[in-house]
Structure 1
């Protein structure tokens, strides 16, 4: 037996900051943080709706505070950024063929955004 130690490459905690690809990846993954707050706010809103009118009114006043509005705007922007990165990756992950020909990547991405717009319009119309 030898007393040699195996080579262990030192890995700094901020290794991802040196590469643009990993910075974008970390930014994309960080979009979940404001979405967690948004989901918690909505969950408390449902609970207050069940409790009664006074709890509902206090939740509405809480949701009107500038901090909560700012968190919701950041959550919306994070969701749009997450959707954009997901939609742009989709043609590479799952190429669509019609009649043996690949559909252009731009058409696939624009179709997804059109679906988001239609579904959003339907929800706004119903609500």
Structure 2
């Protein structure tokens, strides 16, 4: 038996702040927090819609609170940032070939944003 202690490298809580790659990764992962709040707000909104007009009005007044509006704007920005990072990674993870040639990454990313815009427009027209 050896009495030697194994080497344990020191890991500070701010290790991720030293590299731009890890910093952007942590910011991307942190975008889930305001999105969770937004999802919970929508879920409670559906519940209040089922409960009746008084509950619905209370939910609408809650959603009109400037703090809630600000958090929802941050949620939208986080969601768009998350989508942008996903769309730029997509051609690297799953390259698309047409007639044996790779499709340009810019075309793939623009196609994804065009799909987002089209779906958003359809939803706006329906609602």
CA distance in 1, matches of 2:126, 2:25: 36
Residues 16-41 of structure 1: per-residue CA shift (max 9 Å, x gap): 01111000000000000000110111
Aligned residue runs from structure 1 range 10-49, under 5 A: 10-49=10-49
User: How many pairs align?
Assistant: 127
TM-score when normalising by structure 1: 0.98
Q: Secondary structure at the match of 1:7?
A: coil
Residues 51-72 of structure 1: per-residue CA shift (max 9 Å, x gap): 0001001111111110110011
CA distance in 2, matches of 1:32, 1:25: 12
Q: Secondary structure at the match of 2:13?
A: coil
Q: Which residue of 1 aligns with 2:101?
A: 101
Once the two structures are TM-superposed, the CA of residue 2 in structure 1 deviates from its matched residue by 2.2
Aligned residue runs from structure 1 range 1-127, under 5 A: 1-127=1-127
Unpaired stretches in structure 1, ≥5 consecutive residues:
none
TM-score when normalising by structure 2: 0.98
Unpaired stretches in structure 2, ≥5 consecutive residues:
none
